[in-house]
């Protein structure tokens, strides 16, 4: 039997995927050339850099919210690549 995710996890994942879609669509709207998978990967990499900067700046021990935000940015980056 496969893994069954809790309902709230499925809702959260759906929101993250929707956010990734909105980011990708906004990115594409600004392009003057046809979007490619390479561009999608580059956008996801850029999002991951933002997450890394949040992790690197050393405020995470005092601000758990930043850990959460950085983790969500990584999820969004994964979802952008998966679109």
Which structure tokens are listed for 7? 């309902």
Residues 48 and 76 sit within 8 Å (Cβ to Cβ): no
3-state secondary structure of 63: coil
- CA-atom Rg of the chain in angstroms: 15
More confident residue, 53 or 80: 80
Please tell me the predicted confidence (pLDDT) of residue 80: 94
What pLDDT score does 6 carry?
Answer: 46
Residue-level pLDDT at 13? 60
End-to-end CA distance of the chain: 27
Q: Is 51 left (phi over 0), alpha (psi -120 to 50) or beta?
A: alpha
Listed by start position, the domains of the chain span 7-82
Helix or strand run (H / E) with residue 44: helix 37-56
| Reported confidence tier of residue 29, pLDDT bands at 50, 70, 90 | very high
pTM, whole model, 2 decimals? 0.75
């Amino acid at each position: 039997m496969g893994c069954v995710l809790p309902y709230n996890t499925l809702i959260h994942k759906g929101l993250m995927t929707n956010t990734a879609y909105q980011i990708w669509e906004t990115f594409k709207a600004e392009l003057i050339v046809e979007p490619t998978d390479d561009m999608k990967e580059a956008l996801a990499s850029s999002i991951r850099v933002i997450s890394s900067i949040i992790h690197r700046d050393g405020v995470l021990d005092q601000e758990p919210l930043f850990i959460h935000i950085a983790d969500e940015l990584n999820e969004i980056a994964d979802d952008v690549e998966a679109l």
